[in-house]
Structure 1
Amino acid sequence: MDSSSEAHGRHKCAACFRQFNRMEHLVEHMRTARHSSHDPRCLVCLKHCRSFEALRDHLGAGGSSLPKAAHCATVFAARGCSLCLGVFPSAARHSEHYHAECKQSRTPTISISMSRLHITSSSHRGGGGGGGALALGCKMVGAGSDGSLDVCARVCLVDERENVVYETFVKPPIPVTQYRYERTGIRPEHLRGGAGVVATVKQAQERVQELLRVRTSGGRGRAMLLVGHGLDHDLAALGFDYPAHLKRDTAQYPPLMKTSKLSNSLKFLTYTYLGYEIQTGHQHPYEDCVAAMRLYQRMRAQRHRRGEGDAAADGAFHQAPSADSNAFPAWRQRELERMTPEELLQLSTPDYYCWCLDG
């Protein structure tokens, strides 16, 4: 612990800097907070935050009305990147980084009339955890008496190099009552194509499942990681599920969620962390796929110091930590109270699977 907190008999958390009168209270805080080296962290004061949104508030980034750390906000305003929240040695280096390394360009617009891309070349698949990663995006139209029931009318799969692996219109199994043309750009004629132009839900489901399975040289199967935003909703529309440990959902990834633990929209995440706008007119699922894949790749590319609890995550497939997996059991209480705050932080593990471990 630092000298100031020790001199006043207080114990300071090495992650969030909260102070406690008793060491047992600090241990209890570490037990419940689940700080770790995977937390988003201020590069000025090194404080850990629960999410990137909390870090943005701390730094006053992106128009946050009330920065919580005046000194950090001043330094960040002069030399910080509003997208990745990095801090650089000089304003010139920051400008070079922002325009050459961080800000993404918008994806090429794909016309709604291009109903038959079906580029199924698996040679374009990039590397990644397991057998690589594919991003899934679906566009829904409305069914039911009031058009509020979502049914899939278009599906797209994109690989890590932003190549279209599969794309098709999908004929819903029940009558469409609201095409939502202003958002989807889909008209009735797009879903009336003959065989080979419009897929049934079953055909689209089988093709997506086939592409998510990779055959290795030895003939054994290996599954791809599935990236997306709101994956459970898209998968339900296609009528199948996918193993939780192979999903990479930008709507459910804790560092990308709101401080209230609610999901951010893909439109917000893309503008805030990639620097361009999506979903401004007729929406093609390709645009959503690319945005989700870029967010995933940015999160995966982060370099975090490996903690003691990360050793168990080194495997072909990774399981998210359970709510009960904690490095601070009650039977170790006396031992834990003799540790320094830095040692406690080194021991602590997050309550989610960090995507940097896919790298």
Structure 2
Amino acid sequence: MDSWSDAHGRHRCAACFRQFNKMEHLVEHMRAARHSPHEPRCGVCGKHCRSFEALRDHLGAGGSTLPKAASCAGEFAARGCKLCLRVLASAAALQAHRDCQLSRTPPMARLHHQQQAQAPQGGGRVLALGCKMVGAGSDGSLDVVARVCVVDEQENIVFETFVKPLIPVTHYRYETTGIRPEHLREGTTVKSAQRRVQDLLLNGEQPWKARTSRGRANLLVGHGLDHDLNALGMDYPAYLKRDTATYPPLMKTSKLSNSLRFLTHTYLGYDIQTGHQHPYEDCVAAMRLYHRMKRQQHPRRGGGADEPAASADQAFPAWRQRELERMTPEELLRLSTPDYQCWCLDD
């Protein structure tokens, strides 16, 4: 037990600072909460938060609610970055800190003249997928894919095409998509687009092999990937997908997804999806968010692979209950593992 627990007769979680009367209750909390060094942390008090939105509420950076910690909010207001949520050493250091503010992607007019880049070769690469949908069905509410874009890590277009829907289009959603009937008449078939995207993702790897071993297959980045893949009539192994809509640190405190537009404005510092929307912008925004999450400096264990446990019982097995209750809160935190694959481990 640490000195704070000795003095007050209570046990405080080393991650979220919740207090418990009994050590067994703290162990149960750690078993359920799955705290780890991969969680977003307050740069002032060191508190762990489940998501960046929870950290923003803690620091008062969101503006919609009162800060959960007034002292931390004061420090953050003086020398904190509202995009990456880091607390710098001084106000001068904050003025020099410009890494997080990114500019918008190239104007849409330039995309029509940009040549498609060569597909990435070798394993360990990353591609971003974006699709734009038009409406089908009697009321135009059924999403069907009409435009596909694939972008590499350098934000170059690898593949981009209009797609002829398999069923009649009843609403082109021109105000947002900018798509007209003549665009789709000149487009490729859904099957052809599906085949091309799959070839780019597998990168020469056999589909059956990519389901169990990555090999040469590429990581797939996007926002709402399951929706886009379903529209193309294809799937992809879950362990190779990096979805900004379902990545826990980027989700709401209610565990619902944030929109890509909100994430880009909040964590990259510019606006997207204004006027006619091109899937290229969505691809670039998702790729930039992925790289920002990937570059986070999280502690590693013993210099080796720091893979999360398959279940909470592996980190805190019931048969070790007595041994766990004799550990300090700091030792429990070092033992704990997250319940998701942190993107920083992709290195």
- After TM superposition, give the deviation of residue 312 of structure 1 in Å: 5.9
> What is the TM-score with the length of structure 2 in the denominator?
0.93
**What count of residue pairs does the alignment treat as equivalent?**
339
Task: State whether residues 117 and 156 of structure 2, in contact with CA within 8 Å, keep that contact through their aligned partners in structure 1.
Answer: no
Structure 2 partner of 1:108: 106
Quick one: structure 1 residues 113 and 93, their matched pair in 2 at CA, closer, same or farther if it must change by over 3 Å? closer
- 1:113 & 1:61 partners in 2: Cα distance? 35
Confirm or deny: 8 A CA contact 1:171 1:201 kept in the other structure. yes
Per-residue CA shift, 1:97-128, capped at 9, x if unaligned? 1x3x11010001224993x86614136x7x9x
Q: Residues 256-271 of structure 1: matches in 2 within 5 Å?
A: 256-271=250-265
The question of 1:333 aligning with 2:321 is answered yes
Tell me whether 1:41 sits opposite 2:26 in the alignment: no
The percentage of counterpart residues that share the same residue type is: 74
Match of 1:119 among 102, 109, 116: 116
In 2, Cα distance between equivalents of 1:95 and 1:184:
38
Contact 1:271 1:277 in 2 (8 A): yes
Q: CA deviation at 1:325?
A: 5.3
The alpha-carbon deviation at position 164 of structure 1 amounts to 0.4
Gap change, CA 1:203 and 1:118, over 3 Å in 2: farther
Alpha-carbon separation, structure 2, partners of 1:172 and 1:245: 29
Query: Cα distance 1:60–1:141, how it changes in 2: closer, same or farther (>3 A)?
Result: same
Contact 1:37 1:307 in 2 (8 A): no
Q: Deviations over 1:77-111 (max 9, x none)?
A: 000000000010111211211x3x11010001224
Q: CA separation in 2, counterparts of 1:232 and 1:46?
A: 35
Give, in whole Å, the separation in 2 of the partners of 1:221 and 1:11. 46
| SS of residue in 1 equivalent to 2:315 | coil
Structure 2 unaligned regions, length at least 5 = 206-213
Residue pair 2:30, 2:336 contacting (<8 A) in 1 also: yes
Aligned 8 A contact 2:246 2:257 in 1: yes
Indicate the larger mover: 80-89 or 104-113.
104-113
Q: Is the CA contact 1:326–1:349 (under 8 Å) kept in the aligned structure 2?
A: no
1:135 matched residue in structure 2: 128
- Distance in 2 separating the partners of 1:343 and 1:307: 13
Question: How much has 1:185 moved relative to structure 2?
Answer: 0.5
Q: 1:163 to 1:78 in 2, by over 3 A?
A: same
Check the 8 A contact 1:310/1:349 in 2, yes or no: no
- Equivalent pair of 2:32/2:312 in contact (CA under 8 Å): no
1:166 matched to 2:154? The reply is no
After the TM superposition, which residues 82-101 of structure 1 pair with which residues of structure 2 at under 5 Å, given as runs? 82-97=82-97, 99=98, 101=99
> What is the CA RMSD across the aligned residues, in angstroms?
2.1
- Write the mapping of 1:1-359 to structure 2, written as runs, cut at 5 A: 1-97=1-97, 99=98, 101-111=99-109, 114=112, 119-122=116-119, 130-193=123-186, 198-215=187-204, 222-307=216-301, 311=305, 313=307, 322-323=310-311, 326-359=314-347
1:252-275 residue CA offsets vs partner (Å, 9 max, x unmatched): 000000000000000000000000
Bigger drift between 241-250 and 205-214 goes to: 205-214
| Superposed CA offset, 1:3-26 (max 9, x none) | 233211111100000111111010
The answer to whether the 8 A contact 1:326-1:348 is kept is no
Hey, what's the Cα distance between the residues in 2 that align with 1:47 and 1:78? 19
Maintained 8 Å contact 1:58/1:68:
yes
- Alpha-carbon contact 2:2-2:328 (below 8 Å) kept: no
Distance 1:188 1:113, change over 3 A: farther
Distance 1:334 1:324, change over 3 A: closer
- 1:155-194 CA distance string (max 9 Å, x none): 000001100000000000111000000010001111111x
Q: Note if contact 1:155-1:168 (Cα within 8 Å) is conserved in structure 2.
A: yes
Partners of 1:255 and 1:145 in 2: CA distance: 38
Residues 239-292 of structure 1, C-alpha deviation per residue, up to 9 Å, x if partnerless?
000000000000000000000000000000000000000001100000000000
Quote the Cα distance in structure 2 between the aligned partners of 1:64 and 1:261.
Answer: 18
Cα distance in 2, alignment partners of residues 264 and 297 from structure 1: 18
What's 1:316 paired with? Answer: none
Could you say what secondary structure the match of 1:41 adopts? Answer: coil
Letter in structure 2 aligned against 1:107: T
Q: Which residue of 2 aligns with 1:317?
A: none
Report the 3-state secondary structure (helix = DSSP H, G, I; strand = E; otherwise coil) of the residue aligned with 2:257: coil
Task: Sort the Cα spacing of 1:312 and 1:37 in 2 relative to 1 into closer, same or farther, 3 A.
Answer: closer
1:13-56 deviation digits (Å, cap 9, x = unpaired):
00000111111010010000000010100010000000000000
